[in-house]
Amino acid sequence: MNFNIEACKIVELPKISDPRGNLTFVEGGNHIPFDIQRVYYLYDVPGGAERGGHAHKELHQLIIAMSGSFDVVLDDGVNKKRVHLSRSYIGLYVCPMIWRELDNFSSGSVCMVLSSNRYDAEDYYRDYAEFKRGQTQL
Ligand code: TYD
């Protein structure tokens, strides 16, 4: 498995349009290539704030702008890509070993993240140089 930004894909989720309000769902192992063990969300993000700034060793994630919009900058140690998320039926799949930064949050935005594992501090690279060394050893 190549853990690079080419493996990080936009996923269009099912959308059941209805005059009463739209509905979207995500099934682990079906719409995304992992089972969901954890959900977390970022909200009340002040203007100009940046989140992320780390990579995960084994974690797979799907990032969705549930409300408002923000950018995700993906970096595999060689290439970088900026992805703007602004729709609740569009997810960004992020494979392991990708450095990510989130910025450009609109006011009132909510970022939901579906994750393949429970929280584990040992799964993080918080140092970019260490992450790059890990990437070259893959
Ligand atoms: P962190 O992953 O650094 O936030 P982000 O990358 O989204 O900016 O997490 C911030 C803090 O929250 C850190 O102390 C760890 C804690 N945390 C948990 O306890 N459980 C979780 O599921 C997550 C994502 C973070």
- Cα 93 to its chain centre, rounded Å, is 6
Q: Is the CB of 28 under 6 A from ligand 1?
A: no
**Full domain range(s) for residue 105:** 5-136
Token couple for 22: 């739209």
Element spanning 37, H or E: none
- Mutate which of 51, 100, 115 for ligand 1? The one with the most ligand atoms within 8 Å of its CB, which is 51
Q: Is the pTM of this model over 0.95?
A: yes
Question: Into how many domains does the chain fold?
Answer: 1
Average pLDDT per consecutive 10 residues, the chain (138 residues; last block may be shorter): 93 98 97 98 97 98 98 97 98 98 98 98 98 92
Specify the DSSP class assigned to residue 105.
P
pLDDT for the residue numbered 3? 95
Q: How far apart are CA 31 and CA 25, in angstroms?
A: 9
Q: Which CATH number covers residue 62? A: 2.60.120.10
**How confident is the model at residue 51, as a pLDDT?**
98
**Catalytic residues, which ones?**
54
Given this model, what pLDDT does residue 1 score?
65
